[in-house]
Amino acid sequence: MVTLPNWLEPSQLIDTYLRCLPDAARSLKHNQQVDIFAGATECSGYLRLVKRIPIVKGDRFIIRQPSPSITIGGGVVVDPLPRRRHRRFRSELIERLVILANGTPEELILDKLDKSSPMQIRELAKQHSLSEHDFVQALKTLIQNETVFFIPKTPPQPSPSKEREQKKPPLAPPLLGDGKMWGVKSKTVIASKVGWQNISERLRGILLSYHKTNPLRVGMPHGELKSRLKLEMGLLNKVVHQVKEEGILETIEKLICLKGYKPQLTSSQQNTINALLQQFVQHPFTTPSTKECLNLLNNNEDLFNTVFETKTLIRATPDVLFLTSTFHEFADWLEKFITENGSITVAQVRDVFQTSRKYALALLEYADNQGITRRMGDERVLR
């Protein structure tokens, strides 16, 4: 068979409307072996295909028993790529198949988006046998009546100082008159209202389950959510951004959690953390090492991770830790000192804060990494 590139995907599983001949010698039985004829293709099967064949929605076929070769019935392909076998006798399934068999282009596109939102337009186009003109016109209609909407691209992360000034992006980018936003090769991501509600509820359920299972963690790692939702990273970023805009979740660096969620500590765990933090308050510039912190937390690494995920502590170097508030106070002092004196050295920080070179150097290196200062020889100046 000759076809355009990427237009036709061979299928081994198809949904059909099948009609048996009233005078057929035998009635059909579950998993009965038959021969299937569609176009110029002949394939054996057991009311399921034993190999992939080129077939599209609307193709007609007949089935025959293998030996002796007797025609049993025939029908028309309703969905050439259903992706999975169905459970029998489900009313919602029958209703969906009726829509597929008799629906308009708009109904066919909407049915796919209800099941698989969000998805790129070009991927949606591959899963339909509609002509390019019919597909574009149907999608344009759905977008214009707001049954289908765009998922906006994830914007660059703003700096903290500009975050409050950033305006929320619109739910959908403006429609372009030439139709480029919805062309069959477009990478633009879209969703239907029903499909978006499904993915939103699924994401909420995954996070809720994660919080119950991991009460000490601030949120789920981005990569784990990607695996659970089975979305490629670019698509996941758009989904997370949009759900965040809707006030359902929030992100903390590379962690994702439900809006307003806080780690659930027992009173004993909270007291253990408080005892650790008291050491940092009493000795803000000669703080406990990583090993000493773990000893104070009874070697509970989950508790140790919690103080970093909640941004209570920062890790200036692998073994030098500070209270976040301590570093912020130091950063304010550092900017003022350099503004007045032009530069600063490790020795000056050591002397002013009565600490050792190890801690003074860690503070300045962390300031470099945060974009506050930069090194020039043995001195630091403001960026």
Angstrom distance (rounded) from CA 183 to CA 138: 11
pLDDT score recorded for residue 48: 66
- How far is the CA of 26 from the CAs of 60, 65, 206, 207, in angstroms? 21, 9, 49, 53
Angstrom distance (rounded) from CA 201 to CA 219: 17
Single-letter residue type at 337: F
List pLDDT tens digits, range 263-320. 999 999 999 999 999 999 999 999 999 999 999 999 999 899 999 988 899 999 999 9
pLDDT score recorded for residue 276: 95
Angstrom distance (rounded) from CA 257 to CA 247: 11
pLDDT score recorded for residue 22: 83
Q: Which residues of the chain have pLDDT under 50?
A: 153-156, 158-179
pLDDT score recorded for residue 180: 53
pLDDT score recorded for residue 187: 86
* Residue from 181, 190, 201 nearest 117 by CA: 190
Overall residue count recorded for the chain in this entry? 383
Angstrom distance (rounded) from CA 368 to CA 383: 9
Radius of gyration of the chain from its Cα atoms, rounded to whole angstroms: 31
pLDDT score recorded for residue 97: 76
Task: Domains for the chain: give ranges and CATH numbers.
Answer: 15-79 (2.40.30.10), 91-155+171-193 (1.10.10.10), 271-383 (1.10.10.10)
Paired tokens of 30: 């579950």
* Residue from 119, 130, 100, 95 nearest 8 by CA: 130
* Residue from 261, 229, 256 nearest 241 by CA: 256
H or E stretch covering 258: strand 255-258
Contact 175, 142 (CB under 8 A): no
- Please report where in the chains the tokens 């490790």 appear, as a residue: 346
Contact 147, 105 (CB under 8 A): no
